[in-house]
Amino acid sequence: MKKILLILTIFVLTLHAKLPNTKQLIVVSTQNWSTPNGILQRYEKKNNTWNKIGKAIDIKLGRNGLGWGIGLHTIPKDAKYIKKEGDGKAPAGIFSLKQAFGYAPFNVRYPYTVYKETDHCVDDVHSKLYNKIVDSNKVNIDYKSFEHMRFSKDYYKYGIVVNHNHIDEAGAVKGAGSCIFIHIKKVPTAGCTVMREDEMKEIIQWLDTKSEPLLVQGTVGVVNGLMKIVK
């Protein structure tokens, strides 16, 4: 028992050292590692206490559930489920959030990008642009697989970029999963977390850059452990 507590303490200290001084959390929890269904709850920190914001939201995520992703946490050495490219799993862990995005301008205080049909998120593991969002008119296209950041469906009408596996940064691990977003959709996904349009817009309007918002995502047990870390 003492050995387990020591390992847990080291794990917590390692994580805590990497975390920003966040005051906003988006917490997504599921009942187990294989379910595509979950609950999203927002939190704000005031007087060193996390307070619930708004009602809990029923969400969908990866069609094959969850796997540990690459973020601000350390993946447990005995982890059974690890996120990989094309596995249909959403990433579990603690992740910073990058820009919100959509198909048209949206007057919000959080960084927001309007994407075009020529903007691609590259999921080709053989590409130098793997896990990067690029304007296909401005790069040397060396990829065969990608996602349009704007298309006929409303899925990306509003969304948020999740910093999983160093998206748009140096250091993306080939094959560890790419192009993870929070966005609009009614059914399970290839790895993103999704909800209704009005719910998505409300979250974007709530986000504040100064509060350094984070996504905490995992099974109920994993989330309970990670919440102790962000405190």
Q: Name the residue range of residue 61's domain.
A: 2-230
Instruction: Give how far Cα 202 sits from Cα of 191, 196, 205, Å.
Output: 22, 10, 5
Give pTM, 2 decimals: 0.92
Confidence of residue 231 (pLDDT cuts 50, 70, 90): confident
What pLDDT is attached to residue 229? 87
pLDDT digits (tens, 9 = 90+) for 49-59: 999 999 999 99
Number of domains into which the chain is organized: 1
Kindly report the average pLDDT of the chain as a whole number. Answer: 92
Instruction: Give how far Cα 98 sits from Cα of 35, 101, 187, 227, Å.
Output: 26, 10, 24, 20
Residue 33, Ramachandran bin (φ over 0: left; ψ between -120 and 50: alpha; else beta):
alpha
State yes or no: pLDDT of 3 exceeds 50: no
What pLDDT is attached to residue 17? 39
Confidence of residue 183 (pLDDT cuts 50, 70, 90): very high
β-pairing, 90-102 vs 214-219, is antiparallel
